Amino acid sequence: DQQVKQNSPSLSVQEGRISILNCDYTNSMFDYFLWYKKYPAEGPTFLISISSIKDKNEDGRFTVFLNKSAKHLSLHIVPSQPGDSAVYFCAASANTGNQFYFGTGTSLTVIP
């Protein structure tokens, strides 16, 4: 049973506009969330994280929002650039647990 879900397999956005990638989770014990970016033929690379004590974390063009009551997080990329075209995975863990649970990924295409 998928505990972390990314319901949009793909997303296309015009360069310069905002990209919003969504992620839902079912386990209320999750308290740490990460976003990874993956280019073809490469391993995922860490992008940004958020702890459940926060509802927002910002790093340059990337912002992650966490809505604990809705068990939902989103990644905003502003402005989107062609180099952002990649597959984005969200992942979640519980501090008392022993593994990360990954979503199925969203393929972002930024159109020049």
Partner 1 sequence: DVKVTQSSRYLVKRTGEKVFLECVQDMDHENMFWYRQDPGLGLRLIYFSYDVKMKEKGDIPEGYSVSREKKERFSLILESASTNQTSMYLCASSSYLGGAEQYFGPGTRLTVT
- Binding residues for partner 1, per CB under 8 A? 2, 4, 6, 9, 32, 34, 36, 41-46, 49, 51, 89, 91, 93-100, 102-105
User: Minimal CA–CA distance to 9: which of 88, 101, 102?
Assistant: 88
Query: Which lies closer to partner 1 via its Cβ, residue 4 or residue 21?
Result: 4
Say what the alpha-carbon torsion angle 72, 6, 48, 59 is, to the nearest 10 degrees.
-70
Residue found under tokens 């509802």 = 55
Shortest Å, Cβ 16 to partner 1: 29
Shortest Å, Cβ 52 to partner 1: 11
Question: Please, are residues 60 and 43 in contact by the beta-carbon 8 Å criterion?
Answer: no
Query: Which lies closer to partner 1 via its Cβ, residue 69 or residue 98?
Result: 98
